[in-house]
């Protein structure tokens, strides 16, 4: 489904180590992602197709237009489920009631991939519990 930025992977797994609650993890990921030293400025530069790096002022304005969110719920959090969404869509879909819209915007293939990844992780954990490993 695409390459995962190494900086983002470090942010994701760092948040996973710090927090067990899904909402707290997503909040930590967002803080670290949008930190001026994080990948946020580079990603937003690419989103807007800019050749020059964003100034601090430009970044502070553009950063407020985006949110880190999840494709499914924050309780079923795998790295493939984390997305960068325009704030208006994040706010509109906050309760996840508009699943058809979310799926259409995210893309059926990505939605399916995330669902399969969550399922595989659940099966792996269930099997480990059955074996007495967890």
Residue 118: pLDDT band with limits 50, 70, 90: confident
27-86 residue pLDDT tens: 999 999 999 999 999 999 999 999 999 999 999 999 999 999 988 777 778 888 888 999
| pLDDT given at position 17 | 86
Given its phi and psi angles, is residue 4 left (phi above 0), alpha (psi -120 to 50 degrees) or beta? beta
Close Cβ partners of 99 (under 8 Å, ≥ 6 residues apart): none
List all residues 6 or more positions away from 35 whose beta carbon is below 8 Å from its beta carbon: none
* Per-residue pLDDT tens digits for 79-95: 888 889 999 988 888 77
Measure CA of the first residue to CA of the last residue in the chain; give whole Å: 30
Contact 40, 59 (CB under 8 A): yes
């Amino acid at each position: 489904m695409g390459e995962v930025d190494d900086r983002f992977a470090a942010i994701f797994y760092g948040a996973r180590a710090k927090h067990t609650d899904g909402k707290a993890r997503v909040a930590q990921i967002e803080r670290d992602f949008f930190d001026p030293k994080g990948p946020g400025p580079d990603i937003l530069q690419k989103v807007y197709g800019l050749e020059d790096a964003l100034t601090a002022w430009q970044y502070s304005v553009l950063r407020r237009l985006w949110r880190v969110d999840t494709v499914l719920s924050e309780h079923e959090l795998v790295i493939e489920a984390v997305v960068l969404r325009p704030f208006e869509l994040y706010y509109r879909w906050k309760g996840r009631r508009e699943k058809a819209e979310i799926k259409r915007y995210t893309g059926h293939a990505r939605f399916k991939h995330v669902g399969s990844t969550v399922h595989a992780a659940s099966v792996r954990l269930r099997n480990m519990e059955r074996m007495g490993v967890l």
